[in-house]
C-alpha cells in the first residue's frame, strides 16, 4: 500500500510538472504571437522570439539562424546559449551545417533529437545539452527557405506531443512572419524602382519598332499577346509588370517551375516565357527542358541576377532562346521582348 501511494504521488508530481511546463510554453507562444504582430524589423523579430522562448522557462535555450537559398548566413539570434553559439555561426559561415539542421532538411517538420549528448557527439553544444533534448525546424513558407529554429527542452518533456505541437506552431508562425516581412520589403523596394522609372522617363522614351505595333505615344502595343512570367521574386515580377503595363500585353505569373510546366500544358496561346533561372522548386533550365518536350517553338528567355557563362550555356542547351542578366533597363527589356512578339504585319514590314 505504501509503495502504491508513493507511485501515485510520483505520478501526480510528474503530471504537475508537465502541466507547469505546458503553461510555460503556452505563455512563450503567446508572447511570440504578440511580438510578430508589432515587430517588422527582422533582427529584432528573431531575437525577440529567442528571448520569449526561454523567458518563461519553457525552453532551456534557443537560437535562430537565417540563410539564403544556398545556405549562406544572413543573420542570427540566440538566447541562453552563451559563447558556444559562436561555434554554430562559424559552422554556417563555412557551410558545415550542424547535424540537427541536416536532420531538419531531410525530415520536413520538427526534427527531434532526444539525446544530443550521444547523437551529436561532434557538436560543441552536446555537453551543455546533456539534460535536454533538442528540436530543430527548417523555416519555410510557400517554397521559400529562411533558415532554422532550434530549441532545447528538458528530456523529460521533449517527447510530449502537445509540447511539440506548440513549438511547431511557433516555427510555422515565424516562417509566415518572415515571408510577410519579405513581401513588404519587396513591395517598398518595387515602389521605389517604379517611381525612379517614371521620374526618369525611360518608359515614355521607348519607341515602337514597327508601325503596326505602335499606339499613341510611341509605346509597343501587344494587346493580343500573352506572356508567362516565371519569377519567385515579387519585386522583380512587379518591375516587369509595371514596365509592360503600357503595352497592354496580357500576363500570367507563377512563382514555381512546376506551376509553369502545368500552365504551359493547359494554355495554348502563350507567346513568350520569361524564365527565372533560380526557382524554389525546380531550376529554370530544367523547367525549360521539360517544356521543350511538348512545346518546341514557344520562345523562352532566361532571366537571372547571377550571370556566369556556365549558367548561360546550361540554359541555352536546355532550350532557352535567349539569356538576359538582371537588372535590365526598361528600354532594353522592351526591345528584347519585341524580338519575340512580332505580329504578321510586322514580319512583312521587315
How do residues 64-87 score in pLDDT, each as one tens digit? 999 987 888 999 999 998 888 888
**CB-based burial of residue 131 (10 Å sphere; 0-12 exposed, 13-18 middle, 19+ buried)?**
exposed
**Mean pLDDT to the nearest integer, 31-53:** 88
**pLDDT tens profile 235-269:** 788 888 888 888 889 898 888 888 899 889 888 78
CA–CA gap between residue 267 and residue 258 (Å, rounded) = 14
3-state helix, strand, coil in the chain (%, to 5): 50, 20, 30
**Model-level pTM?**
0.58
Asked whether residue 153 falls in the same domain as residue 212, the answer is no
Q: Which helix (H) or strand (E) holds 129?
A: none
Q: What is residue 206's three-state secondary structure?
A: coil
Asked whether residue 63 falls in the same domain as residue 157, the answer is yes
How many domains is the chain built from?
Answer: 2
Domain annotation covers residue 195: no
CA–CA gap between residue 194 and residue 65 (Å, rounded) = 32
Looking at per-residue pLDDT, the higher value among 199 and 48 belongs to 48
Domain annotation covers residue 252: yes
**pLDDT tens profile 162-172:** 888 889 989 98
pLDDT at 186: 63
Q: Which residues contact residue 318 at a Cβ distance below 8 angstroms, ignoring those fewer than 6 apart?
A: 285, 286, 288, 289, 292
Q: What CATH number did the domain enclosing 280 receive? A: 3.40.50.2300
Instruction: Count CA atoms closer than 13 A to 349's CA, side-chain side.
Output: 12
Chain-wide mean pLDDT for the chain?
80
**Mean pLDDT to the nearest integer, 36-59:** 88
Asked whether residue 36 falls in the same domain as residue 158, the answer is yes
Asked whether residue 221 falls in the same domain as residue 341, the answer is yes
CA–CA gap between residue 223 and residue 337 (Å, rounded) = 14
In percent, the amount of the chain with pLDDT more than 90 equals 21
**Mean pLDDT to the nearest integer, 3-14:** 66
**Contact predicate 112/135, CB 8 Å:** yes
Domain annotation covers residue 189: no
Asked whether residue 156 falls in the same domain as residue 259, the answer is no
pLDDT at 213: 47
Residue 121 has φ and ψ, to the nearest 5°, of -70, -15
Which structural domain range is residue 257 located in? 201-349
pLDDT at 330: 86
Q: What CATH number did the domain enclosing 93 receive? A: 3.30.450.40
Q: How far is CA 128 from CA 117, 155, 156, in A?
A: 8, 13, 16
CA–CA gap between residue 119 and residue 112 (Å, rounded) = 11
Domain annotation covers residue 192: no
Amino acid at each position: 500500500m505504501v509503495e502504491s501511494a508513493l507511485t501515485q504521488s510520483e505520478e501526480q508530481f510528474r503530471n504537475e510538472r508537465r502541466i507547469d511546463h505546458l503553461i510555460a510554453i503556452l505563455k512563450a507562444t503567446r508572447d511570440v504571437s504578440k511580438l510578430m504582430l508589432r515587430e517588422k524589423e527582422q533582427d529584432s523579430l528573431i531575437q525577440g522570439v529567442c528571448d520569449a522562448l526561454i523567458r518563461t522557462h519553457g525552453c532551456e535555450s534557443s537560437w535562430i539562424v537565417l540563410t539564403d537559398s544556398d545556405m549562406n548566413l544572413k543573420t542570427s539570434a540566440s538566447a541562453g546559449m552563451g559563447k558556444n553559439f559562436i561555434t554554430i555561426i562559424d559552422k554556417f559561415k563555412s557551410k558545415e551545417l550542424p547535424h540537427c539542421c541536416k536532420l531538419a532538411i531531410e525530415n520536413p517538420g520538427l526534427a527531434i533529437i532526444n539525446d544530443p549528448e550521444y547523437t551529436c557527439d561532434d557538436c560543441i553544444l552536446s555537453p551543455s545539452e546533456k539534460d535536454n533534448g533538442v528540436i530543430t525546424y527548417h523555416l519555410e513558407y510557400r517554397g521559400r527557405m529562411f533558415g532554422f529554429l532550434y530549441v532545447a527542452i528538458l528530456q523529460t518533456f521533449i517527447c510530449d506531443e502537445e509540447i511539440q505541437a506548440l513549438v511547431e506552431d511557433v516555427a510555422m508562425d515565424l516562417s509566415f512572419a518572415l515571408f510577410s516581412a519579405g513581401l513588404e520589403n519587396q513591395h517598398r523596394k518595387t515602389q521605389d524602382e517604379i517611381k525612379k522609372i517614371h521620374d526618369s522617363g525611360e518608359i515614355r522614351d521607348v519607341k515602337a519598332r514597327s508601325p503596326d505595333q505602335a499606339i499613341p505615344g510611341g509605346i509597343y502595343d501587344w494587346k493580343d499577346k500573352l506572356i508567362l512570367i516565371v519569377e519567385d521574386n515579387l519585386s522583380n515580377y512587379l518591375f516587369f509588370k509595371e514596365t509592360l503595363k503600357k503595352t497592354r500585353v496580357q500576363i500570367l505569373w507563377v512563382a514555381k517551375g512546376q506551376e509553369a510546366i502545368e500552365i504551359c500544358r493547359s494554355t495554348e496561346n502563350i507567346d513568350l516565357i520569361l524564365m527565372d533561372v533560380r526557382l524554389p522548386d525546380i531550376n529554370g533550365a530544367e523547367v525549360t527542358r521539360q517544356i521543350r518536350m511538348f512545346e518546341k517553338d514557344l520562345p523562352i528567355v532566361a532571366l537571372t541576377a547571377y550571370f556566369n557563362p556556365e549558367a548561360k550555356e546550361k540554359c541555352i542547351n536546355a532550350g532557352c532562346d535567349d539569356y538576359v542578366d538582371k537588372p535590365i533597363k526598361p528600354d532594353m527589356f522592351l526591345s528584347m521582348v519585341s524580338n519575340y512578339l512580332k505580329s504578321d504585319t510586322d514580319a512583312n514590314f521587315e
